[in-house]
Chain A
Amino acid sequence: QQQVKQSPQSLIVQKGGISIINCAYENTAFDYFPWYQQFPGKGPALLIAIRPDVSEKKEGRFTISFNKSAKQFSLHIMDSQPGDSATYFCAARGGTGGFKTIFGAGTRLFVKA
């Protein structure tokens, strides 16, 4: 019920390409779905987030697509750059958990120059 499943585990993309990371959740009470970016040795930083009443949210090169009926959401990074190389975590929170945030397993993205 509390799991957030994330794929792929790792991803290699050419510079300028599109990076796509997918997540699925089980708990329908979740009402907030953030994506975090983490560089080695650093804490995660919020990248973009979405609520289930919206099917898509775009901020710069980053877009979240949300499919409530399928309980899936994805992160698209357009025009991927070497500086985007990091680990990305999808997450979910809400329902009886309140602010408790459940993280996906993470995706290590490497953008080739």
Chain B
Amino acid sequence: GAVVSQHPSWVICKSGTSVKIECRSLDFQATTMFWYRQFPKQSLMLMATSNEGSKATYEQGVEKDKFLINHASLTLSTLTVTSAHPEDSSFYICSAPASTGSQETQYFGPGTRLLVL
């Protein structure tokens, strides 16, 4: 199946710094990617839809100035957590749809664990 990678897999940073997370579709092109956040023992909450060549679409309650999304190419989307604070500590997961046979399937990355001290 299609593969989505994320980098880094985990990151620890100081409060107030910015952290960039990359999401790549390795063997297919994705004009759209999605960013999710998952707190411990909770479900995945959609943060935003990343669109290649245009602005990202953010879900209600997600600060677009804090979570900057750039869909630089058909295989790369980046999420930058600006001025990170401890409450931003979470598991961030991206996904991208790809065609497999007759249907399109959503493939998820392995996630990036962020810890803000």
**Which listed residue, B6, B41, B105, B108, touches A44 by the CB 8 Å rule?**
B108
B79 CB to closest chain A CB, in angstroms? 14
B2 CB to closest chain A CB, in angstroms? 10
Q: How large is the interface on A (under 10, 10 to 19, 20 to 34, 35 or more residues)?
A: 20 to 34
**Chain B CB within 8 A of A101 CB:** yes
Contact indicator B34/A99 (Cβ below 8 Å): yes
Contact indicator B44/A100 (Cβ below 8 Å): no
Among the stretches B12-20, B67-75, B81-89, B109-117, the one at the interface with A is B109-117
| Alpha-carbon distance A89/B111, docked complex (angstroms) | 16
Tally B residues with Cβ within 8 Å of A. 23
**Chain B CB within 8 A of A29 CB:** no
| Alpha-carbon distance A99/B6, docked complex (angstroms) | 20
Contact indicator B111/A42 (Cβ below 8 Å): yes
A43 CB to closest chain B CB, in angstroms? 4
Contact indicator A105/B43 (Cβ below 8 Å): yes
* Contacting residues, chain A, for B42 (C-beta < 8 A): 105-106
A97 CB to closest chain B CB, in angstroms? 9
| Alpha-carbon distance A108/B40, docked complex (angstroms) | 12
**Chain B CB within 8 A of A12 CB:** no
A80-113 interface with B by 8 A CB criterion: 89, 93, 98-106, 108
**Which residues of B approach A to under 8 Å, CB–CB?**
4, 6, 32, 34, 41-46, 49, 93, 95, 97, 104-111, 113
